[in-house]
């Protein structure tokens, strides 16, 4: 029964990891940018949410309505300025610039908000409560809600990309930038829109993690960025549903590792990631051939 519990918990945490990953995946898919500051920006979103809640005393769930648009706007601005000008130089420059941004954000948070961990206290029964399946399996409502949100976000992204005007533009620019430009698309603006979408999901991920666990300045890299990347690689590149699958596999691997010994949780996830890298790198190779 303990193993069944581990698998169920793993599947549900997989939803959280898919939420971490979809912004990373989207930005790589459209702009070929691997944003190394991805996780730190999620932590920033979490800290902003904590600040907004503390100052305005609004209900926790309302904080999403403020933080997600703010982060999306930040994404558009960052893409149009820093990331775009790095991209105009070379792919390696985008790596150096986003890595620099990651270190600056992480140490900035450390400097201004100390290394103390902070949680987004919700106080809502929906979030802190749980229900029981049988006698041994206890499932937190929060994880179920996060999983549902992840599925809704992935569905929404897919719907947006395949049917809306901007979705078509994004796909066109991702497929062939020059051709899209010839047809009149302003690719910089389209990149900005894609970054705004990605940063919106980053904000969701940061706040969700702040509710589920605790945020520290280092959470952005050692948890969010690396888990997101592992989920993307395990699931296969370029597919939003692959991202969900990758998140679920990573979550299950971690929970099974933790079941063997609690100190194995993170390591088990990385070992599965490395195994996939060695045994099933097809997705990686096709992507390499394109870029």
Catalog residues that contact other proteins under the rule CB under 8 A. Answer: 28, 32-34, 36, 82, 85-86, 89-97, 99-101, 103-104, 107-108, 110-111, 221-222, 225-226, 229-230, 233, 263, 266-267, 270-271, 273-274, 277-278, 281, 284-285, 287-288, 291
Which residue lies nearer to other proteins by CB, 144 or 267?
A: 267
Which residue lies nearer to other proteins by CB, 137 or 226?
A: 226
Which residue lies nearer to other proteins by CB, 104 or 152?
A: 104
To other proteins, the closest distance from the beta carbon of 145 in angstroms equals: 28
Which residue lies nearer to other proteins by CB, 111 or 163?
A: 111
Which residue lies nearer to other proteins by CB, 53 or 272?
A: 272
To other proteins, the closest distance from the beta carbon of 208 in angstroms equals: 21
To other proteins, the closest distance from the beta carbon of 193 in angstroms equals: 21
To other proteins, the closest distance from the beta carbon of 282 in angstroms equals: 10
* Distance in angstroms (rounded) separating the CA atoms of residues 240 and 200: 16
Q: Which residues fall within 8 angstroms of residue 232, CB to CB, at 6 or more apart?
A: 21, 24, 25, 28, 243, 246
Which residue lies nearer to other proteins by CB, 96 or 152?
A: 96
Q: Would you give the end-to-end CA distance of the chain in angstroms?
A: 46
* Distance in angstroms (rounded) separating the CA atoms of residues 210 and 204: 10
Burial of 181 (0-12, 13-18, 19+ CB in 10 A): middle
To other proteins, the closest distance from the beta carbon of 224 in angstroms equals: 12
**CA 224 to mean position of chain CA atoms:** 7
To other proteins, the closest distance from the beta carbon of 14 in angstroms equals: 18
To other proteins, the closest distance from the beta carbon of 235 in angstroms equals: 14
How many CA atoms are closer than 13 Å to the CA of 36, on its beta-carbon side? 15
To other proteins, the closest distance from the beta carbon of 166 in angstroms equals: 24
Which residue lies nearer to other proteins by CB, 86 or 161?
A: 86
Maximum Cα–Cα distance for the chain, whole Å?
Answer: 63
Which residue lies nearer to other proteins by CB, 74 or 86?
A: 86
**Contact call for residues 146 and 208 (beta carbons, < 8 A):** yes
């Amino acid at each position: 029964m303990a193993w069944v519990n581990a698998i169920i918990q793993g599947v549900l945490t997989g939803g959280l990891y898919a939420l971490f990953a979809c912004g990373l995946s989207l930005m790589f898919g459209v702009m070929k940018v691997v944003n190394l500051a991805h996780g730190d920006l999620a932590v920033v979103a979490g800290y902003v949410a904590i600040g907004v809640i503390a100052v305005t005393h609004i209900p926790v769930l309302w904080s999403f309505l403020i933080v997600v648009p703010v982060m999306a706007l930040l994404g558009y601005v960052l893409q149009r300025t820093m990331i775009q000008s790095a991209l105009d130089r070379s792919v390696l420059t985008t790596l150096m610039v986003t890595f620099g941004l990651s270190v600056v954000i992480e140490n900035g948070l450390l400097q201004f908000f100390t290394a103390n961990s902070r949680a987004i206290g919700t106080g809502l029964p929906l979030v802190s409560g749980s229900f029981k399946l049988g006698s041994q399996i206890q499932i937190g409502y929060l994880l179920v809600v996060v999983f549902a949100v992840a599925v809704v976000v992935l569905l929404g992204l897919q719907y947006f990309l395949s049917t809306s005007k901007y979705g078509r533009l994004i796909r066109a620019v991702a497929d062939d930038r020059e051709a899209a430009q010839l047809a009149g698309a302003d690719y910089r603006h389209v990149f900005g829109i894609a970054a705004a979408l990605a940063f919106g999901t980053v904000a969701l991920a940061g706040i969700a993690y702040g509710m589920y666990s605790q945020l520290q300045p280092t959470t952005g890299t050692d948890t969010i960025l690396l888990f997101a990347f592992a989920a993307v690689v395990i699931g296969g590149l370029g597919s939003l549903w692959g991202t969900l699958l990758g998140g679920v596999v990573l979550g299950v691997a971690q929970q099974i590792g933790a079941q063997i010994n609690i100190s194995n949780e993170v390591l088990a996830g990385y070992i599965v990631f490395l195994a996939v890298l060695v045994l099933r790198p097809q997705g990686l190779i096709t992507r390499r051939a394109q870029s």
